[in-house]
Structure 1
Amino acid sequence: MNAVTITTKGQITLRKELLRHLGVHPGDKISLDKLPDGRIAIRPVTQTGKISDVFGMLKREGQPPVSIEDMNEVIKKGWAGER
């Protein structure tokens, strides 16, 4: 059994081994569910977003799309030290 101490602010700290078991890291979120028998279930919150959610996030209003060929040309010049 892993006992934890409650601080005066009502906070607890979970041991690293428990966090590893959950597969969570600093900045991740966990969910706490109250069970009918008085226990609490802890589980990691899984990300619900999709990679496609980031498409277009850098596009500015009125900016025309950039082709792959144009991107490759800029990259090639950058690697060559040109501007």
Structure 2
Amino acid sequence: MRVTTKGQVTIPIEVREQMGIRPGDEVQFHFDVVTHTAHLVKIEPSAMTHGRRVVERLRGSGSANLELSTDEIMALMRGE
């Protein structure tokens, strides 16, 4: 495999098929500093990422009953 200038690699189809990796799936590389090896791990859909946990924690905590116009929202954001 060759690494692109953006640090990207293509996972060979044989590996994707054996690991059950499909387009849109999330994977992680785990690097072992002692052996200088990397391990590819498929992230199961049930495993929540940090961002998803934050979104879930904040879901429903906002005040949706305020009916502000775009101009009013922009004025609030500008501190006017």
- Cα separation, 2, equivalents of 1:21 and 1:43: 12
Letter in 2 for 1:14: I
Letter in 1 for 2:44: T
What's the secondary structure of 1:24's corresponding residue?
A: coil
Q: RMSD across aligned C-alpha pairs, in angstroms?
A: 1.4
- Cα separation, 2, equivalents of 1:17 and 1:6: 18
Q: If you compute each CA radius of gyration, which structure gives the higher value, 1 or 2?
A: 1
Q: Unaligned 5+ residue runs, structure 1?
A: 50-83
Q: Superposed, which structure 2 residues align to 1:1-83 within 5 Å? A: 4-35=1-32, 36-48=34-46
Q: Unaligned 5+ residue runs, structure 2?
A: 48-80
Query: How many residues are matched?
Result: 46
- Cα separation, 2, equivalents of 1:31 and 1:18: 14
- Cα separation, 2, equivalents of 1:27 and 1:12: 16
* Cα shift readout 1:6-31 (whole Å, capped 9, x = no counterpart): 11222111111111111110000111
Higher relative contact order (CA 8 A, sep 6+): 2
- Cα separation, 2, equivalents of 1:48 and 1:32: 18
Same amino acid, percent of matched pairs? 24
TM-score (norm 2): 0.52
TM-score (norm 1): 0.50
Q: Could you list the structure 1 runs, at least 4 aligned residues long, displaced by more than 4 angstroms after superposition.
A: none
